[in-house]
Copies of this chain bind each other. A is one copy, B any other.
């Protein structure tokens, strides 16, 4: 069931069809990428399979990368939401860990697990995609750092600490994710993340 109402306002029809189109194209593309490989799948292949013109495709997606990494935007927003929802007196490291649960849940979602893992594999196999993933994470990190700066009562932008902590937390997340994937999910993601974050408590 898709949300038709958000904050009491209806989402206009155009927007809904647009999202549906993006979702459909994303699924189709990811299947092609998983089957043939990212580089081996051209936009022409994709639009032929989808029955649309190349020009139209680029009205829905800004780039080929977007087909794989589009979800990260959404995830980053959910992350910042999650952290603002944490009590302000909570230690920041704890808040970060709890906020990361939204990411953990995303990766643990069994209905999507196979697809998610397939896309991670595609990303790892392609340096440009890996780079794009990191870049999107860096954007999230900046948002996070701003929130932390506020929360830690360190208003000075000349203080590198909030950015360092946000980056460190994301590094733990990445390390846990990589281990989780490399070990074929033999241990729960959340547990690995706990372990990584326990090794690095801010002073």
A interface residue numbers (CB < 8 A to B): 127-128, 130-132, 134-135, 138, 145, 157-161, 163-168, 170-172, 174-176, 178-179, 182-183, 186-187, 192-193, 195-203
Contacts and interface: CB of A to CB of B under 8 A. Distances in A.
Contacts of A192: 160
A131 to B, nearest CB: 4
A172 B160 contact: yes
Contacts of A187: 158
Contacts of A168: 164, 167-168, 171-172, 200
Nearest to A183: B158
A158 B138 contact: no
A138 B177 CA distance: 14
A192 B157 CA distance: 12
A130 B134 CA distance: 9
Given A160-B176, A164-B196, 8 more contacts: A160-B178, A160-B193, A163-B174, A164-B197, A166-B171, A168-B168, A168-B171, A199-B202
Between A161, A192, A201, the greatest number of chain B beta carbons within 10 A of the residue's beta carbon is seen for A161
Nearest to A137: B134
